[in-house]
């Protein structure tokens, strides 16, 4: 702190050392733990993905270059099936989440009695655990005694075997995700809606613009940054769906995402390869490809949402 003077007392020197070194002491726990248990495993994934490394094989790890990737990309229909399911579920979850959230935020942005109750109620699904929620939903979507089929039977539908089909299982899983995350995005949107000056709406009202016109031409364009943010967050989350498909059909076929792999996502395939077949090399290759796919899809989502018109 002070300019160096010829003779420093011990106390002064200690104070100098303190000022210089303690910041590093303060940040070191974070960097040490994160480095060892966060960053290192990430980098190590790339290395393991180039190995033939199976816990169930007696021989240890063997370097095989890009063999895992060649196998995955060109000779593994299960991988492509899982990627297809991932993209399907991404579309079925992300788009409804954002649209419903916009609608709900619009409703919440009015003068309301019991505002706090409504707001906190919206976030209730988000704070419950994904394991509990999925088990509950799996019951609701049961074939014989499920509540959803019971309600559908009023309309003459009913007795859908939700887990059996590709479309029906995707719809059921998507409904869990949408239920869980819509309120979260609605609150993010609500926060920025409240920052929109009311004079804009007053002017629009004077111009004779109806409620839905104001919503589409003022609210949505001004919310563009939050819509982009929410879409990208939802995309990265939904590309990694694992717990929902894993617990939707718990039991022997859990890791395969249904008897026919009809709802096995890429993250679940990673889990199956890594932790039910213990094929660590192959699983790591799936992890890296999934990361690349996620970045690509998030990029697409970003470009699409960026095109929301602004006046």
Partner 1 sequence: MSTVLTSAPPAAARPPSRTRRFTQRVTSPWTYAALIAILAGSAFPVYWSFVVSSQTPDAVGSVPPVLVPGGHLFENIARVFDETNFGLALANSVIVSGTITLSVVLFSTLAGFAFAKMRFRGRTLLLLLVVATQAIPTELGVVPLYIMMADFGWAGQLQAVIVPGLVTAFGVFFMRQYFERALPLELLEAGRMDGCGSLRLFWHVALPTARPAAAVLGLFTFMQAWNDFFWPLVVLVPENPTVQTALSTLASGYTTDYTLVLTAATLGTIPVLVVFLLFGRQIVGGIMQGALKG
**Region near partner 1 per CB under 8 A, out of 66-74, 88-96, 187-195, 299-307:** 187-195
Count the residues of the shown chain that bind partner 1, applying the rule CB under 8 A. Answer: 102
Q: In the range 119-178, which residues lie near partner 1 by CB under 8 A?
A: 119-133, 135-140, 144-145, 147, 150
Taking the least distance from each CB to partner 1, the nearer of 102 and 122 is: 122
303 binds partner 1 (CB under 8 A): no
Burial 180-193 (b: 16+ CB within 10 A, else e): bbbbbbbbbbbebb
Q: Where are the alpha helices (DSSP H) in the chain?
A: 10-34, 40-48, 67-75, 77-108, 115-127, 130-140, 147-154, 166-193, 198-206, 211-214, 220-222, 224-238, 243-248, 266-275, 280-306
Listed in sequence order, the residues at least 6 apart from 298 whose beta carbon sits closer than 8 Å to its beta carbon are: 232, 235, 236, 239
Taking the least distance from each CB to partner 1, the nearer of 249 and 262 is: 249
The C-alpha atoms of residue 151 and residue 153 are separated, in whole angstroms, by: 5
Residue 292: CB minimum distance to partner 1, A: 11
What token pair was written down for 90?
Answer: 């991404």
Taking the least distance from each CB to partner 1, the nearer of 59 and 207 is: 207
For residue 79, which of 294, 278, 265 has the smallest C-alpha distance?
A: 265
Taking the least distance from each CB to partner 1, the nearer of 137 and 162 is: 137
274 binds partner 1 (CB under 8 A): yes
SS3 265: coil
**Region near partner 1 per CB under 8 A, out of 91-99, 164-172, 202-210, 301-309:** 202-210
Selected from 8, 12, 13, 27, the binder of partner 1 by CB under 8 A is 27
Q: In the range 103-122, which residues lie near partner 1 by CB under 8 A?
A: 104, 107-108, 110-112, 116-122
Burial 133-145 (b: 16+ CB within 10 A, else e): bbeebbebbbeee
Q: In the range 251-270, which residues lie near partner 1 by CB under 8 A?
A: 251, 254, 267, 270
The C-alpha atoms of residue 177 and residue 239 are separated, in whole angstroms, by: 12
Residue 311: CB minimum distance to partner 1, A: 8
Residue 57: CB minimum distance to partner 1, A: 14
Residue 63: CB minimum distance to partner 1, A: 15
What token pair was written down for 78?
Answer: 């299960």
Q: In the range 32-91, which residues lie near partner 1 by CB under 8 A?
A: 33-34, 37-42, 44-45, 47-48
């Amino acid at each position: 702190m002070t300019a160096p003077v010829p003779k420093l007392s011990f106390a002064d020197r200690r104070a100098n050392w303190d000022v210089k070194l303690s910041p590093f002491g303060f940040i070191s726990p974070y960097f040490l733990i994160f480095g060892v248990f966060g960053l290192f495993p990430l980098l190590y994934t790339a290395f393991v993905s180039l190995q033939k490394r199976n816990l169930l094989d007696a021989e240890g790890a063997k370097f095989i270059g890009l063999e895992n990737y060649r196998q995955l990309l060109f000779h593994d229909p299960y991988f492509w099936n899982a990627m297809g399911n991932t993209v399907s579920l991404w579309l079925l979850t992300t788009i409804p989440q954002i649209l419903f959230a916009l609608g709900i935020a619009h409703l919440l942005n009015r003068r309301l009695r019991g505002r706090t109750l409504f707001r906190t109620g919206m976030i209730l699904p988000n704070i419950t655990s994904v394991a509990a929620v999925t088990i509950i939903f799996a019951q609701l979507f049961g074939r014989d005694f499920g509540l959803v089929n019971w309600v559908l039977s009023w309309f003459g539908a009913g007795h859908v075997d939700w887990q059996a089909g590709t479309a029906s299982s995707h719809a059921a899983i998507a409904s869990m995700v949408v239920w869980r995350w819509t309120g979260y995005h609605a609150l993010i949107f609500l926060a920025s809606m409240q920052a929109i000056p009311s004079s804009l709406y007053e002017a629009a009202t004077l111009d004779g613009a109806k409620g839905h016109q104001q919503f589409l031409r003022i609210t949505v364009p001004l919310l563009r940054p939050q819509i982009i943010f929410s879409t990208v967050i939802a995309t990265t989350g939904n590309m990694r769906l694992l717990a929902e498909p894993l617990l939707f059909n718990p039991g022997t076929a859990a890791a395969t995402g249904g008897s026919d792999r009809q709802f096995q996502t890429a993250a679940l395939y990673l889990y199956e390869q890594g932790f039910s077949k213990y094929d660590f090399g192959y699983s790591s290759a799936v992890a890296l490809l999934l990361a690349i796919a996620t970045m690509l899809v998030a990029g697409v989502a970003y470009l699409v949402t960026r095109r929301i018109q602004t006046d």
